[in-house]
Amino acid sequence: MLVVKEDVIGGGQIATERLLESLKTHHSEITCHCIVFKERHNSKNKLVFIRSFINQFLGARSRISNAFAKNDIDYVCVSDYLLALATISVRPRTVKILYLFHGLKEVYFKKPSLLDFGKVIIKNLEKLSWILSDVITVPSGEAKEFILNKTPLIDSKKIFVVSNIVPQEYFTSKAKHKNVAGFNILYSGRIVKYKGLENLILAFARITFGIPKALLIIAHPISGSDLHLKSDLDDLIKSHGLERKVIFIKNSSEKGLIDLYRSSDVLVLPSELEFAPLSVIESLASGTPVIGTDVGNIKSLLLRLDGRLVLKNNSVDEIYNKILWFFHFNKRNRHTLRKKAREISLSFSDKKSCEEFNWALKYLNSNTSH
């Protein structure tokens, strides 16, 4: 198998790495050759975007072609539309493409002011790459429904749900000392507009009046994060006098992230769009409850934990009220939630994911998969 990927720190990249590591354990007959490309940055200028896209496409095509010349490859594993299309152009219809879908490369909503040339192009090229791929794996049933709704021409039979994996370290790590006198709120993920971070900070500013020693910890990767938004968040924090109450931690190691989960009282994820965020199942595996919006598979997980943890929306009032309600939980209720959270996350094992992946491989190797 040829694995073609971008060097980007984020949930999709981590989920892919965990799956590939699991395959080495449970599918020793599969050998992987890996090509890694630098992270791409798209320009809003039309001419620059087109020129950059063509150069990136041709560069990817050249490297992939060389890999085919040097290795015996049955199929290609890819999680990016441009790299998928470059692979297909090298060996059209002679090699099978396995597309690992973890999220959109460009997220935009229906507000005209947010539409731009590059995003529209990427949106349609993503759809094309899904249609041309032989098999698509998705991390949740909600993600499968999204692809089917957005791409009517696609064959539903070739889309397989392969659950994300939570490594054992999240279950076996020792508990950390919490902020006993206060209240630790954690956000883990990229800094991008649709994650609702501005409203989370505004809600937290109100929280500090009732819980003076509360802390908001924002753990984020640099890759894929919006630096302009980060600057706006810094200004927002300064304007509310929260400099010592909001802590940014960038590019945390996996051990460091586990420690953050274990030392936090609650994870808050007020996103407008998610499919199966790793932060939610990682937090649950660490025994830390989650407050999250009704998107992707978050609601189905939280309904099993406590339906009252689901945000109706990501408004400032809703986030504030839900966090404050959770803060007043007694010790017994919190202990019950922590125990139940870990039980729920047990279903996200590497063994289960590999069993689900087997169905995708069987279809990939069948005569109907082209």
Mean pLDDT split into 10-residue runs, the chain, 370 residues: 83 86 78 85 85 93 90 87 92 84 75 69 93 94 94 92 92 63 89 95 96 94 87 96 96 91 95 94 95 94 95 96 92 88 90 90 75
Tokens 């753990």, located at residue: 219
pLDDT for the residue numbered 369: 54
CATH number of residue 57's parent domain: 3.40.50.2000
Same domain, yes or no: 186 and 200: yes
Task: Indicate whether 148 and 189 sit together in one domain.
Answer: no
207 plus 104 within the same structural domain: no
Same domain, yes or no, for 191 and 328? yes
Q: Is the same domain home to 64 and 145? A: yes
pLDDT of 185: 97
Residues 217 and 363 in one domain: no
pLDDT value of residue 34: 87
**Farthest-apart Cα atoms in the chain, separation:** 65
Q: Taking the model in full, what pTM does it have?
A: 0.90
Count of domains for the chain: 2
- Are 238 and 298 part of one and the same domain? yes
- Domain extent at residue 56: 2-165+349-369
Q: Are residues 53 and 25 in the same domain?
A: yes
Q: Are residues 92 and 174 in the same domain?
A: no
Burial (CB < 10 A; 0-12, 13-18, 19+), residue 174, is exposed
Asked whether residue 62 falls in the same domain as residue 95, the answer is: yes
Question: In terms of domains, do 251 and 293 share one?
Answer: yes
pLDDT score for 216: 97
Q: Quick one: 328 and 214 in the same domain? A: yes
